[in-house]
Amino acid sequence: MNPLSQLPSVDRLLSAAALAALVDVHGRAIVTGTVREVLAEARSTAREGAPVPDEAALLARVGAGVTAKTLPKLRPVFNLTGTVLHTNLGRAPLPEEAVQALVAAARSPCALEYDIDSGGRGDRDDIVSELLCELTGAEAATVVNNNAAAVFLLLNTLAPKKQVIVSRGELIEIGGAFRVPDIMSRAGAKLVEVGTTNRTHLKDFAEAINPRTAMLMKVHASNYAIHGFTHAVPEAELAALAHQHQLPFVIDLGSGTLADLAVYGLPHEPTPREAIAAGADLVTFSGDKLLGGPQAGLLVGRRDLIVKLKKNPLKRALRVGKLTLAALEAVLALYRDPDRLHLRVTAVRQLTRPAADIAAQAARLLPALQAALNGLAVTAGIVALKSQIGSGSLPVDRLPSAGFAVRPQGRKGGVLNRIEQGLRALPKPVIGRIEDGALLLDLRCLAAHEEPEFAAQLSASRGLGT
Ligand SMILES: *Cc1c(COP(=O)(O)O)cnc(C)c1O
């Protein structure tokens, strides 16, 4: 007898109760498609001599197939990597106020480019430009899709076919193929490098200025630091030199927080307000790094220059959508009350969380982790860790933190990889890191309200890594 004839038909499988339930949830098309794939696969392996699966096995494969296809790709995860602003995990989580504003803007029509008072057409930048000016001391502001786009728009508008003078020590690459020299040439500007990697002086800039110079530029070297015999020209001196020659002085701040994070014990990071006060004509920074908002590129500075940027047709191509503006407006509004940033802006709260608080959380959660690791040849304990800020912000500084270290009992480290995979396979994947023979889970970014969910899925996952 031909073993293939034992395989049920598509219709027969579809009539099973388990699949009717799947059709209810996901629709007929995807379930039928998966049934066909599962049967085709069974036919092909049976032809190669594998046993023909029974109906229950086939139904289970269809169930697993439909689940795999319908799981969203952009899934929430627990970020226990120890890097707070993790670019691969979406950088800053939004504060609840921003989430609410974003959802409201998504759900119903909103006054995106509409002036409710006059009933006339509005400008989408107006949603945040007043707040940005208030928070930075700038005359005017505009917003694009990210800071890379902000730098690109600035160069393309103010320096086409002209020269931009930058210190050699600032020709940086930021992850994801943003390199200052490349962005410069793509934007149509000519890079003029001055000084050396470690030392650049005012006279280096002064000697490079000529009639083809469009601007002086400073790039905040946010993702690395050089130490030792170094010199960079103070911003106020560069601004004065540029203004002597009627040239704009622009700064790409990168992270650019709007508050002085030093009051929270974090290292000082230059702010747009300081840059403007030092004489910068335009400053660009990211919305989703230390600021703790949505992905966006913010440009603040002189009104006449912002007007020029907004007239560039590229601005239309780089503009942000209503969801971004809704979230950004809500986050900026929180900065009006700098005293409570550490409570209200999620990224700032995570960055300022005391190590003792994190260690106490680790003590509460250790039993759930130990239950999940039950029976495996590993030990799990609470350890002091150092978190990173991430996204190239404050690259050298580490924040005292706490979490778990899982170590193999024997010499073999393979068990750690299996546990790490097991954690990623949980309903809300847990992302940690393996370092120096240990699996490390830094709890800095686990909020108190997430603890029950975190513990429950660990407790339910007995045999993690087996
Ligand atoms: C991060 C960064 C950028 C790019 O900003 P995105 O918002 O990621 O596009 C550009 N310049 C500097 C100095 C940066 O730190």
Alpha-carbon separation of residue 337 from 51, 128, 139 (angstroms): 68, 16, 21
User: Cβ-count burial of 289 within 10 angstroms (0-12 exposed, 13-18 middle, 19+ buried)?
Assistant: buried
Q: What is the mean pLDDT of residues 235-253?
A: 97
Task: Indicate the CATH number for domain 78-87+350-459.
Answer: 3.90.1150.180
Q: pLDDT band at 260, cuts 50/70/90?
A: confident
- pLDDT, residue 408, reads 94
The pLDDT of residue 53 = 93
Give the DSSP H or E segment for 66: helix 55-70
Q: Whose CA is nearest to atom 14 of ligand 1?
A: 254
163 membership: H or E segment, kind and range: strand 163-167
**Secondary structure (DSSP) of 390-450:** -TTSSTT-EEEEEEEEEEESSS--HHHHHHHHHHHTSSS-EE-EEETTEEEEEGGG--GGG
Would you state the pLDDT for residue 266?
85
Mean pLDDT for 219-234 is 80
Burial degree of 400 (CB within 10 A; 0-12, 13-18, 19+): middle
Of 174, 328, 389, the one to substitute when testing ligand 1's pocket (max ligand atoms within 8 A of C-beta) is: 174
Which of the four pLDDT bands, split at 50, 70 and 90, describes residue 183?
Answer: very high
145: Cβ below 6 Å to ligand 1?
Answer: no
Query: Sorting pLDDT into bands at 50, 70 and 90, what band is 412?
Result: confident
CA of 90 to the centre of ligand 1 (A): 14
Per the structure block, which two tokens stand in for 113? 């480019």
**Interval 162-174: pLDDT, tens:** 999 999 988 877 7
Alpha-carbon torsion angle 324, 327, 330, 331, nearest 10: -90
pLDDT of residue 167: 95
Lowest-pLDDT range of 64-73, 235-244, 264-273 = 264-273
Partner residues linked to 218 by β-bridges: 251
Which of 412 and 252 is assigned the larger pLDDT? 252
* φ, ψ of residue 359 in degrees (nearest 5): -65, -40
Whole-model pTM: value is 0.93
Q: What is the mean pLDDT of residues 291-317?
A: 98
Contact predicate 295/307, CB 8 Å: no
358-373: pLDDT as tens digits: 999 999 999 999 999 9
Q: What is the average pLDDT value for the chain, to the nearest integer? A: 93
Whether the CB of 442 sits within 6 Å of ligand 1? no
Evaluate: CB of 361 within 6 angstroms of ligand 1.
no
- Phi, psi angle pair for 218, to nearest 5°: -120, 135
pLDDT digits (tens, 9 = 90+) for 10-33: 999 999 999 999 999 999 999 999
Asked whether the predicted pLDDT for residue 423 surpasses 80, the reply is: yes
Give phi and psi for 453, each to the nearest 5.
-65, -40
Reported CATH class of domain 96-344: alpha beta
- Burial class from Cβ neighbours inside 10 Å (0-12, 13-18, 19+) for residue 459 reads middle
Q: Whats the size of the chain, residue-wise? A: 466
Q: 230: which 2 tokens?
A: 């170094």
Per-residue pLDDT tens over the stretch 38-71: 999 999 999 998 999 999 999 999 999 999 999 9
pLDDT for position 466: 62
CB-ligand 1 contact for 390 (6 Å cutoff): no
